Structure 1
Amino acid sequence: MNTGRFDFEKASQSAGWIRELMKEEHTPETEEYGIHSFVYHRKRPFHPERLLRWIANWPDNIVRSKGLMWLATRNHIAISFSHAGTSKQLAPAGIWVGAMSEEERELHFGDTLPSIPDWDDEWGDRVTKLVFIGIDMDRAEIKRTLDETLLTEEEMRMNWRELKDPFPAWR
């Protein structure tokens, strides 16, 4: 940046700028365009095939999303999810602390394990936390349909390696 081409004085005299300044009340863009966000937070892994079907039927009114996912077939890896426009990317984000052996934890953290919010005695730090930003989103419907992609109680008790995983392998 720093090209020296922006002239604040000239920009502040533009018609749009002056119109906005003359308004007594400013309507925030979130209200004007119906833009809202929410966090989807669950402590249960996704079923890979159901998750891929959900992604394939992506709601048009979600324009941006980002966060971490827990996928049953990749139980040791935190998965980074990022979406903007038509681009959706899943990639490994590192190993869950809860998937590390005691030796690995000691190697990475020494004698003091960092304070991890929402630590679960059985699953450790494994969690899905996704932020969705969109226009006139039906939060309840998005949450309901995403919940349907999570493992069921019965699936939680089975060997997750037996599930089909349609996502590409990572090196």
Structure 2
Amino acid sequence: SGATCRDPSHNPSGNDGASQNRAWERFGIHSVVFQRRRPFHGERLRRLLEAWPIPGGNAFDLDALGPWSPGEGGKDVEDILRPVLRSKGFCWVDQEPLRQHVWSHAGKTLAVRPADWWWAVLGEEQLRFKVGYPGVEAEYRNVKREKWHRDVGDRRQELVFIGGPALREQDLVPLLEACLLTDDELGEFWERMRHLEVPNDDFDMNGLLKKLGASQERAD
């Protein structure tokens, strides 16, 4: 739901939290949280991302996105998205359903990229190997305690949108919901999921060394 955001990590000025909160309240900065437990349709999500009015970018026609109800005054997609100053979180995409996707948006950068495997899709041996990393078992226990759903595990949409006074939850949420799989698509999705499994490449010493090497390259 819409609320004034009080996350100190969103403070670019480095001021204390109280000063930030006063400034955000003064300028009407607030957040909208979107949480769902079904995947995005990858193609519809791509169209939404292409329509985002990033400075210097071009809008994409979303007529094919599917039925949705615009907000008061019949706002178009650009009007709805333009007040979003920053957004971030995790999402679940049907085209690559075994991996988390990280949503990252600030300024002129907007990206949704695959990241680590969802915990819920790991096999027993893969899970045992992964929690052997220092600190990872505590992370897994926290996910099980805070984020787990009896049907889909940790797979989810969990996105936060931060914007000014013109950011309206009742306009933004229908756009995001139109990107989710329909009931019919969801049935087909679960049928396809029966034949998918996480490869074992990441869950042996060679995979560990490869992953560490990739991390080092990014650091360099």
TM-score calculated relative to the size of structure 2:
0.56
Letter matched to residue 86 of structure 1: K
Matching residue of 2:17: none
Letter in 2 for 1:32: R
In 1: Cα distance, 2:106 partner to 2:41 partner: 23
d(CA) in 1 for partners of 2:51 and 2:168? Answer: 15
CA distance in 2, matches of 1:63, 1:157: 35
Give the Å deviation of 1:150. Answer: 0.3
Superposed CA deviations along residues 54-99 of structure 1, whole A, max 9, x for unmatched, are 1222211001011111001111000111001221122222000011
Per the alignment, residue 87 of structure 1 pairs with 109
Residue in structure 2 matched with residue 47 of structure 1 by the alignment: 41
Amino acid at match of 1:142: L
The letter of the residue matching 2:172 is I
* Whole-angstrom distance in 2 between the partners of 1:33 and 1:102: 50
Q: Give the equivalent residue in structure 1 for 2:158.
A: 129
User: Corresponding residue for 2:178?
Assistant: 148
SS in 2 for 1:130: strand
- Structure 2 residue ranges without an equivalent (≥5): 1-20, 53-80, 193-220
Unaligned runs of 5+ in 1: 1-26, 162-171
> How far is the alpha carbon of 1:121 from its aligned partner?
2.9
State the shift of 1:39 in Å.
1.5
What is the distance in 1 between the residues matched to 2:33 and 2:98? 23
Query: Deviations 1:93-137 (Å, cap 9, x if unpaired)?
Result: 200001111111122226x76242231233211011111110120
Q: How many residue pairs end up in the alignment?
A: 134
Equivalents in 1 of 2:173, 2:189: separation in Å? 26
Q: For residues 26 and 45 of structure 2, what CA distance do their matches in structure 1 show?
A: 32
What is the identity, as a one-letter code, of the residue corresponding to 1:54? L
SS at match of 2:141: coil
Root mean square deviation, CA, Å: 2.0
Q: Which among 92, 108, 114 is matched to residue 130 of structure 2?
A: 108
| 2:59 is the alignment partner of 1:30 | no
CA distance in 2, matches of 1:159, 1:151: 9
In 2, Cα distance between equivalents of 1:86 and 1:151: 28
Of the two structures, which has the highest relative contact order with CA contacts closer than 8 Å and spacing of 6 or more? 1
Give the 3-state SS of the residue equivalent to 1:158 in structure 2: helix
- What TM-score results when the alignment is normalised by the length of structure 1? 0.71
Judge which range, 48-57 or 150-159, deviates more: 48-57
> 2:94–2:189: 8 Å Cα contact kept in structure 1?
no
Q: CA deviation at 1:38?
A: 2.2
Q: CA deviation at 1:159?
A: 4.0
Whole-angstrom distance in 1 between the partners of 2:22 and 2:129: 49
| Structure 1 residue runs of 4 or more that deviate by more than 3 Å after TM superposition | none
Aligned-residue offset at 1:144: 1.4
- The CA deviation at 1:149 is 0.5
- The amino acid of 2:113's aligned partner reads A
CA radius of gyration, larger in: 1
**Percent same amino acid among aligned pairs?**
35
